[in-house]
């Protein structure tokens, strides 16, 4: 029955339900004929698209829906996956993210959330638990999408502990967006092998931490510099020696290897070298935008539980605050004592210049202009480096000449090293010479680039060339064979093979078909398979 013309009532939230699930239930309840009909009913005619993970146009939600479901801010914070990204973002960025979700364009939203560079992927497939579906059908008469299942990093059900199944709908390689509820026929497992006890424990720990972080994101913010300090302090407790650091990296890589087979953890480091790089990135001064799963992976291994990390963070923030207060008190005390002194004895903040005779001044300046370094001048005339620097500041012409002389000397020295290396390896490319003397190349690139470019242009390119032609026919044939094999091996598991099922079975198929002028045999084979 179509109720759209009779102002149908709005459904209420179910426990742990995401916004997309509520819209899908509303769509089914109204008996809408098309996806666009429900979209226009909820958001108006100007809304043309919808995403289940980051819904946009929330400001266009009609008034009756808002009065029943809540404000856009309430929906974002309590019924979408967005809050998991909030704790490691600044308040300004969080506000921008909310404005993006409320408006018609997401803009650079995914980049600022770390989805573009985080290597955890920007796709968030719909997930469900079969046990939860059975319980929901018994309790509410319908299945629905649980918000806790959709959170990035949640791979196991927090209630039943089973591995979540992923939906084949609303994916990059599936048909356009649809309003739908969990259906066992459209759910597939991310792994065909049984979980080992260690892997199961690791996945459950990550899932619980991700859910806790998402709930925490509404009210909690972590300062990136303090977070890096907490990580560094935790690693220092594992040992400062090279052997201890390598052992820690091996242990971390082992933990990552337990998670790595399961999306979205497929890009985690599983070797010592990659683990050291990962740890180094997380313990240095933060740069750019970082995906929260990077933090959770490290936190779950270092601290075991998210709560333990929060305790360590709060203690570090408290220590830094006490240190800052102590420093401010010392400054105030010094200023107070200084104000009590006579005017002649007060510290002005700048050291008093030493008195040196004009004859000594001339000797120092002449020595520096004839090639002596500052260190040599200090040793020869028994003066401090600050005296030499002050003397140069008071004589700007001499200072500039000294700088020019030092530059020419350094330039000649670096050029000589470069030319000597090139003479020793006349057939080496510029890139190979650069790797042999990286510091020399860096100095010349910054300070003598014109000369360096003229030298590198005369060197061999080092490119061997690529004369391999792509055999598209062979690729087409191999892809056809692979599809036929999957059809034969999977026929027993599917009542009726559909094209979108093949995209799940053959991950490379979707990307291959983007080559419009190739894979003709594959396209003919797919045309025989029903959609």
Which residue, among 233, 231, 228, has the nearest Cα to 285 in the 3D structure?
228
Residue 379 sits in the same domain as residue 401: no
Residue 263 sits in the same domain as residue 303: yes
Residue 134 lies in a domain: no
Q: Contact 43/177 with Cβ under 8 angstroms?
A: no
Residue 112 lies in a domain: no
Q: Contact 276/247 with Cβ under 8 angstroms?
A: no
Residue 343 lies in a domain: no
Residue 301 lies in a domain: yes
The CA–CA distances, whole Å, from 395 to 357, 378, 500 equal: 15, 17, 78
Residue 399 sits in the same domain as residue 384: no
Residue 300 lies in a domain: yes
Residue 91 lies in a domain: no
The predicted structure's pLDDT at residue 341: 47
For 183-305, where are the alpha helices, taking DSSP H only? 197-216, 224-236, 242-259, 272-283, 292-302
Number of folded domains that form the chain: 4
Residue 405 sits in the same domain as residue 452: yes
Q: Which of 372, 390, 408 is the C-terminal boundary of a domain?
A: 390
Question: Please, what is the end-to-end C-alpha distance for the chain in angstroms?
Answer: 28
Among positive and negative, which fits the CA dihedral 221, 226, 228, 234?
negative
Q: Which of 314, 347, 376 is the C-terminal boundary of a domain?
A: 314
Residue 455 sits in the same domain as residue 505: no
Residue 249 sits in the same domain as residue 283: yes
Residue 140 lies in a domain: no
Residue 491 sits in the same domain as residue 516: yes
The residue range of the domain holding 252 is: 223-314
Question: pLDDT of the chain along its 531 residues, tens only?
Answer: 454 456 788 999 999 999 999 999 999 999 888 888 999 999 988 887 788 889 988 999 999 999 999 999 999 999 999 999 999 988 888 998 999 999 888 888 888 888 878 888 888 999 999 999 999 999 999 999 999 999 999 999 999 999 999 998 888 766 678 899 999 998 998 776 778 888 999 999 999 999 999 999 989 999 999 999 999 999 989 888 889 999 999 999 999 999 988 888 988 999 999 999 999 999 988 877 889 999 999 999 999 889 999 999 999 999 887 666 555 555 454 444 444 445 444 444 444 444 567 778 888 888 888 888 888 888 888 888 888 888 888 888 888 888 888 888 889 999 999 999 999 988 888 888 888 999 999 999 999 999 999 998 888 877 765 555 778 888 888 888 888 887 777 655 445 666 667 777 777 787 788 888 888 888 888 887 765
The CA–CA distances, whole Å, from 448 to 363, 440, 455 equal: 32, 11, 11
- Break the chain down into helix, strand, coil percent, rounded to 5: 60, 0, 40
Q: Can you give the C-alpha Rg of the chain in angstroms?
A: 33
């Amino acid at each position: 029955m179509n109720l759209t013309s009779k102002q149908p009532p709005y459904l209420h939230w179910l426990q742990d339900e995401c916004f997309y699930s509520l819209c899908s239930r509303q769509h089914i309840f109204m008996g809408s004929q098309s996806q666009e009909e429900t979209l226009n009913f909820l958001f108006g005619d100007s809304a043309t698209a919808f995403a289940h993970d980051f819904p946009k146009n929330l400001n266009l939600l009609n008034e009756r829906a808002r009065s029943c479901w809540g404000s856009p801010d309430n929906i974002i914070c309590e019924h979408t996956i967005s809050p998991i990204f909030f704790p490691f973002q600044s308040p300004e960025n969080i506000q921008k993210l909310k404005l993006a979700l409320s408006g018609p364009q997401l803009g650079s939203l995914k980049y600022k959330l770390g989805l573009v560079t985080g290597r955890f992927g920007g796709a968030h497939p719909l997930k469900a638990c079969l046990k939860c579906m059975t319980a929901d059908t018994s309790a509410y008469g319908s299945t629905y999408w649980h918000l806790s299942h959709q959170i990035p990093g949640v791979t196991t059900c927090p209630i039943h502990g089973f591995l979540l199944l992923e939906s084949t709908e609303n994916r990059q390689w599936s048909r356009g967006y649809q309003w739908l509820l969990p259906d066992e026929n459209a759910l597939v497992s991310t792994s065909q092998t049984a979980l080992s006890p260690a892997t199961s424990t690791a996945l459950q720990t990550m899932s619980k931490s991700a859910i806790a972080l998402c709930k925490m994101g509404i009210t909690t913010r972590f300062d990136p510099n303090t977070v890096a300090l907490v990580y560094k302090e935790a690693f220092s407790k594992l040992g400062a020696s090279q052997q201890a650091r390598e052992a820690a990296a091996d242990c971390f890589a082992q933990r990552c290897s337990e998670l790595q087979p399961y999306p979205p953890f497929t890009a985690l480091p599983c070797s010592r070298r990659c683990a050291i790089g990962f740890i180094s990135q997380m313990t240095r001064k933060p740069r750019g935008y970082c995906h929260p799963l990077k933090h959770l992976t490290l936190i779950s291994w270092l601290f075991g539980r998210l709560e333990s990390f929060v305790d360590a963070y709060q203690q570090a923030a408290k220590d830094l605050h006490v240190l800052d207060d102590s420093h401010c008190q010392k400054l105030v005390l010094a200023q107070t004592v200084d104000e009590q002194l006579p005017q002649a004895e007060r510290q002005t903040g700048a050291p008093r210049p030493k008195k040196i005779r004009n004859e000594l001044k001339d000797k120092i300046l002449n020595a520096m202009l004839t090639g002596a370094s500052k260190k040599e001048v200090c040793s020869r005339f028994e003066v401090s480096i600050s005296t030499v620097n002050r003397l140069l500041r008071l004589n700007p012409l001499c200072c500039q000449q000294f700088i020019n002389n030092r530059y020419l000397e350094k330039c000649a020295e670096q050029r000589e090293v470069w030319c000597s290396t090139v003479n020793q390896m006349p057939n080496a490319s510029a890139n190979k010479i650069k790797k042999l003397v990286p510091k020399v190349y860096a100095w010349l690139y910054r300070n003598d680039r014109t000369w360096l470019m003229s030298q590198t242009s005369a060197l061999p390119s080092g490119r061997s060339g690529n004369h391999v032609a792509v055999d598209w026919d062979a690729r087409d044939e191999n892809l056809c064979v692979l599809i036929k094999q999957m059809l034969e091996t999977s026929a027993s598991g599917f009542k009726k093979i559909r094209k979108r099922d093949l995209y799940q079975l053959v991950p490379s198929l979707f990307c291959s078909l983007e080559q419009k002028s190739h894979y003709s045999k594959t396209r003919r084979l797919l045309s025989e398979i029903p959609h």
